[in-house]
Structure 1
Amino acid sequence: MVSSTPPAEVDITVDLVHALLAEQHPDLADRRLKVVANGWDNVIVRIGEDLVARLPRRELAADLILHEQRWLPRLAAGLPVPVPAPVRKGRPGHGYPWFWSICPWFEGEVAADVPLADPVREADRLGAFVHAFHRPAPPDAPSNPFRDIPVARLVPRTRGNLEQLGPGHESVAALIDRLAAVPAWDRPPVWVHGDLHAANVLVADGRICAVLDFGDLTAGDPAVDLAVAWMLFDADDRRRFRIAAGGGAPVDDATWDRARLWGLHLGLIFLLHSEDSEQFSRLGARLFRAVTSEDAG
């Protein structure tokens, strides 16, 4: 759900961040601070030119920061696209109750808003990133009840959202039924970004320069991350992405079909439940068209 952003449980201001920095990272306290995002889970405050503070704005997001702090620095090694792995940690203080992170700042715009200069090249690069990220996950990897589940379990909700579009979508309903019958992931769990969509892919000068927001980091079926292919690429470039994501051989048919079902599920959510986000509404419309087109496979 990406409609009305939940209310913040703590008022995160520039003054609060300055006080936290002065106490915990005094070498950064004199830098210029600016709130650059106030999102679903976190407030992002830019620190000078090259860093940002990432602070949970509600209790449900507090554990997600801890997951990023523990796992992302080690996962970042060897990835072909940069990620904002925390470089410093913050602790509660000055009335702020949770741990928080300081991460690198990447200059650019999200891929949901700007075109890729060379989609063929970027399909190869993002596919290589996904392949490198989807490495085996340890038993103590974080769990995410919304992402490390069989996508077929979401089919009733997907069908319900499709019904909200009104009549005339019988072929899409049949597609949902076909994709839902695909075998589930039956191999050991791999690391999964969990929220890899076009608004979490950063672009500078037409080139993907970073993958953002690992708050939904989990382990399980890689299909959920592969749905990004229908958000960013046309049919020919998706085929390149599929090969790169498979490490040189195409991702197997069952996993690719589950990824398409994730795309359908997410596309309908973005399309129908983004009343306060033109960006996600537009992303949902594009995604829904892509996953339901005749050459979507």
Structure 2
Amino acid sequence: MVEIDTALVKNLIAAQFPDWATLPVRPVATSGWCNRTFHLGDTMSVRLPSAERYVAQVEKEHRFLPELGLGLPLPIPVPLGLGKPGQGYPWPWSVYAWIEGERSSLRTITDLTVFAEDLADFLLALWAIDASDGPPAGQHSFHRGGSLAVYDAETRRSITALSGEIDVPLITEIWERALASTWKNRPVWVHGDVAEGNLLVRNGRLAAVIDFGSSATGDPACDLVIAWTLFDEPAARAFRDRVGLDPQTWERARGWGLWKALITVAGAPGTNPLVKEQHRGWLDRIVADHLPIAGVP
């Protein structure tokens, strides 16, 4: 693991972007797992991949985000500088314009249903952008936008590991229904990680969408998981109605949510118990949403 701290960022900026060398550098309040992020002055941020498997995302964002931003109703990150390896740091890195906003949560959102509709409108605009030159789903997007079958073995191992805690036949049925269909329309741009930490709120409303590292072109099902991870039933229904996708796409979306919840709950010893409990809640909501479809009242 590469140590990424304030001193490293200051040295990188001084060596490669001397015009910004006098600006203060400080860590953001909450940094992501895939990248470490720092404030650069008051109007910029520095973002550095935390491991080699996230490096491909840097060039992708620099190439495509300026184009995507032109067709979207809300701000997304704007790349200002592409850094090179140096000062002991082995990978490319980025400078972005800073976007003000709070992390979305039940505390910061004023009206969850309005928020769900605003997010649906953003995604509809994203999916409408010409994706013909975009990167097909693959390792760079951790297969977001691609086939769930990539995670079949991992998911089934997690189901087996949790056999004493979950309804194995029911969970397996949900998973297999998710695997049974594919996206048959043209590939669309997907964000790939539509989660609370990547949705910014100002004055209680959705204000910006950040972190397109898992973006790709393909199946939009992966962008729907937030229906179970954040929304209550009225907001989820509004979100579902607004995006207007077919039932099979929603089954694949359940599969994406199920995979993430299962591998987290079945995670290695030492996994944060609060995180496990959160993902158990997601699992319960996914199951509850599936039961009426399966004919269970």
TM class by smaller structure: 0.7 to 0.9
**Where in structure 1 are there 5+ consecutive unaligned residues?**
1-7
| Equivalent position of 1:200 in the other structure | 198
For residues 195-227 of structure 1, the C-alpha deviation after alignment (integer angstroms, 9 at most, x for no partner) is: 222232233443223222211121111101111
**Where in structure 2 are there 5+ consecutive unaligned residues?**
none
> Which of the residues 28, 37, 43 maps onto 2:36?
43
Query: Is 1:16 matched with 2:14?
Result: no
> Which of the residues 253, 265, 268 maps onto 1:259?
253
Q: How does 1:231-242 map to 2 (within 5 A)?
A: 231-242=229-240
Closer, same or farther: CA 270–108 of 1 in aligned 2, 3 Å:
farther
Shift of 1:41: 2.8
**Structure 1 residue matching 2:55: 3-state secondary structure:** helix
Q: Is the 8 A contact 1:142 1:219 kept in 2?
A: yes
**Structure 1 residue matching 2:186: 3-state secondary structure:** coil
Shift of 1:161: 1.5
Closer, same or farther: CA 73–27 of 1 in aligned 2, 3 Å:
same
Give distance in 1, aligned partners of 2:83 and 2:266.
Answer: 37
| Equivalent position of 2:21 in the other structure | 29
Query: Is 1:271 matched with 2:270?
Result: no
Closer, same or farther: CA 218–290 of 1 in aligned 2, 3 Å:
same
Closer, same or farther: CA 24–156 of 1 in aligned 2, 3 Å:
closer
Give distance in 2, aligned partners of 1:206 and 1:278.
Answer: 29
Q: Is the 8 A contact 1:112 1:283 kept in 2?
A: no
Normalising to structure 1: TM-score of the pair? Answer: 0.84
2:218 counterpart letter in structure 1: G
> Which of the residues 196, 210, 213 maps onto 2:211?
213
Percent of matched pairs sharing the same residue: 35
**Structure 1 residue matching 2:79: 3-state secondary structure:** coil
Normalising to structure 2: TM-score of the pair? Answer: 0.84
Shift of 1:34: 0.8
**Structure 2 residue matching 1:138: 3-state secondary structure:** coil
> Which of the residues 271, 276, 292 maps onto 1:281?
276
**Structure 1 residue matching 2:48: 3-state secondary structure:** strand
Closer, same or farther: CA 121–34 of 1 in aligned 2, 3 Å:
same
Give distance in 2, aligned partners of 1:212 and 1:279.
Answer: 25
| Equivalent position of 2:80 in the other structure | 87
CA RMSD of aligned residues (A): 2.6
